[in-house]
């Protein structure tokens, strides 16, 4: 599947479950589930040790609620960044979640994930 062949609504319907999985895995501290679909480069950047330390250092990562809201998408070449409004069960206010997907020779891979 090439993301470039999809319209925005189709992309959102495909990418939302990926984002949901990342949030659920982050709350559960489940690195295997969290990193499923990562590019090799992203796996090297976000190792299991780094993931566990980040959960300890940044309470947002383990407390993101399921009521996230899609904001928009930014695209360039073969990469697509989905922007999400997220909230926390522990912290007040709204935060930004970003999920970047990349079209690769072996299919669509997660090239970036962040919450701030």
pLDDT tens digits in sequence order for the chain, 116 residues long = 677 778 888 889 989 999 999 999 999 999 999 999 999 999 999 999 999 999 999 999 999 999 999 999 998 888 999 999 999 999 999 999 999 999 888 889 999 999 99
Structure tokens at 65: 């609620």
Q: What is the pTM of this model?
A: 0.91
Give the burial class of 27: count Cβ atoms within 10 A of its Cβ; 0-12 exposed, 13-18 middle, 19 or more buried: middle
Four-way CATH pick for 3-115: 3.40.50.720, 2.60.40.1660, 3.40.570.10, 3.10.450.50: 3.10.450.50
Q: What is the pLDDT of residue 1?
A: 63
Which tokens sit at 69? Answer: 């809201």
DSSP 44-112: HHS-HHHHHHHHHH-GGGG-B-S--EEEEEEEETTEEEEEEEEEBSSS-SEEEEEEEEEEETTEEEEEE
Closest to 22 measured CA to CA, from 93, 80, 105, 82: 82
The CA-based angle 33-34-39, given to 5 degrees, is 105
């Amino acid at each position: 599947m090439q993301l470039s062949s999809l319209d925005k609504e189709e992309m959102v319907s495909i990418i939302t479950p990926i984002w949901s999985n990342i949030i659920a895995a982050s709350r559960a501290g489940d690195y295997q589930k969290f990193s499923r679909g990562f590019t090799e480069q992203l796996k090297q950047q976000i190792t299991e040790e780094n993931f566990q330390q980040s959960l300890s250092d940044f309470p947002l990562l383990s407390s993101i609620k399921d009521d996230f809201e899609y904001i928009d998408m930014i695209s360039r070449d073969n990469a697509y960044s989905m922007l999400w409004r997220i909230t926390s069960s522990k912290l007040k206010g709204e935060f930004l979640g970003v999920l970047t997907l990349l079209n690769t020779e072996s299919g669509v891979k997660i090239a970036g994930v962040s919450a701030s």
